[in-house]
Structure 1
């Protein structure tokens, strides 16, 4: 049997109580057409069989390495733990309940290697419950398509402001030295830790690439426990709005005017309407007050958004 090549990319795979999904995520790594990878599996003090799934993977494939938190520290801390151990030229991320497409690493590593850019991002789709106990991938959403089509190499956020809508860590592969040179870390102890890091990446990169390929299937869990499915909770809403606000501030501070304006319009078009629908009948008036304050701050920058009845309603809370 031919030995695996020396790894060029490390994939950091954090997981907490994801035993039901982790085997599929790890299988998606094994199926990569680029075999020169290694993975750091960070068990964030799981209480289910996640450690067993990780241990079985490491026992059968030396490319998997396990690190365990003895107490739960959260997704941002788990990613940082893995990031600190990366020794390869490139680094990527995969949440342990998601799935990489087979050519994801080949395409992302390949374009950055050829272009010399600091990182590359690809498209992604939701993996939704099919009602029969399985999951099916959806379509590429318009904002994802706008960020990743057509393919571009060595672009910047000023040349391609729509890229600012791609704020997820697991859609990208980066040069490891870019993270270290730029001092990039995930925020710990908060939800939606991707957003601030993504906008800092766009703002600080010398150049980045985009590819239209779908690189990840992003799971929407049938049990509704993922953080993106808990926006009806006031603390989760507060973290969500803070993450978006801080991401816009990074673009503002970097002088990336077009990207900041694009991000504001996208949030008003995509993120705010479902929150308004949640808020209308929410039992907590504070939920509406917090959301209304946020919406008014964005509408001040994009007055045309008040043509939406949902946006107009939120400005009155």
Structure 2
């Protein structure tokens, strides 16, 4: 490898996000670390997303376009990109989000220093204010997961890291993903994979730098904004269960307690509010069963939910 060879590949999946894809692409072009490749995966878009991706690939050889005629979901799109990575490091960026300009420089330099399996950084949410999306503050659970900087840590040493479940806040060694793939055909595919990363890693790093701006779309069409739909709820609860199960299987009881604390404080209240007026009683039944499961877990006794965190969901 020469000094100019790419060191990291970013997998950038998207479906029908033509309005936002240019900003994601621009955030890659603005990186202070220029030794990157990006695999742009169009997941069966019916808008101009594919054309935007193709234009980027034509204009800059660091971009590669992968077009899928049939939409198969975010997990499958990411997996397709994973199969094409040929650099020592890899990361993810959803095509409706943005990286901060120093994200790749900071994360790749950290891994070069530590030799850890992956590094996880902080992130903020961007919400529409007037005519523009504006980034909010780093939310408290993200701070707890990423600050202060910890190099060469583990989930047993730093159980609060388990709160940082999003794929696009991390850069990993490519070899670390040799048998790791995202679930396909479900929503919330990040949750279980993130906990597998934490529990499988010999060591990982966390840094307080804001790596990404996560767009909370005003049209309400993102997966994470559709929890009022029963199938989405079921995927969501299955992902929460799966993530907790991974941590429990690894003996990371403090991380389980930390996850339960956040779930009780932040995830359950909006679900219970939806359940109160949901026309399908199966919705409330599913939420009630999940609550009963949580209460029955041994780690529940060590959970310490901070209900003031709910307000920070609006940051």
Judge which range, 293-302 or 25-34, deviates more. Answer: 293-302
Choose which of 270, 280, 298 in structure 1 pairs with 2:276: 280
Quote how far apart the aligned CAs of 1:10 are: 0.1
Equivalent residues in 2 for 1:147-162, closer than 5 Å: 147-162=145-160
Quote how far apart the aligned CAs of 1:143 are: 0.5
Judge which range, 296-305 or 185-194, deviates more. Answer: 296-305
Q: Tell whether 2:247 aligns with 1:248.
A: no
Quote how far apart the aligned CAs of 1:308 are: 9.6
Q: Tell whether 2:224 aligns with 1:225.
A: no
CA RMSD in angstroms comes to 1.6
Relative to the length of structure 2, the TM-score reads 0.94
Q: Tell whether 2:295 aligns with 1:299.
A: yes
Quote how far apart the aligned CAs of 1:305 are: 7.0
- Alpha-carbon distance change, 305 to 220 in structure 1, aligned in 2, over 3 angstroms: same
Quote how far apart the aligned CAs of 1:304 are: 7.8
Quote how far apart the aligned CAs of 1:5 are: 2.5
Choose which of 194, 197, 201 in structure 1 pairs with 2:193: 197
| CA distance in 2 between partners of 1:15 and 1:305 (Å) | 36
Judge which range, 8-17 or 290-299, deviates more. Answer: 290-299
- Alpha-carbon distance change, 257 to 110 in structure 1, aligned in 2, over 3 angstroms: same
| CA distance in 1 between partners of 2:137 and 2:37 (Å) | 29
Instruction: Determine helix, strand or coil for the equivalent of 1:289.
Output: helix
Count of residue pairs brought into register by the alignment: 303
Instruction: Determine helix, strand or coil for the equivalent of 2:19.
Output: helix
Describe the superposition over 1:13-66 as per-residue Cα deviations: whole angstroms up to 9, x where unpaired: 001001000000000000001000000000001100001110111111100000
Quote how far apart the aligned CAs of 1:299 are: 2.0
Instruction: Determine helix, strand or coil for the equivalent of 1:19.
Output: coil
Unaligned segments of structure 1, at least 5 residues: 310-317
Corresponding residue for residue 263 of structure 2: 267
- Alpha-carbon distance change, 306 to 178 in structure 1, aligned in 2, over 3 angstroms: closer
Quote how far apart the aligned CAs of 1:300 are: 2.4
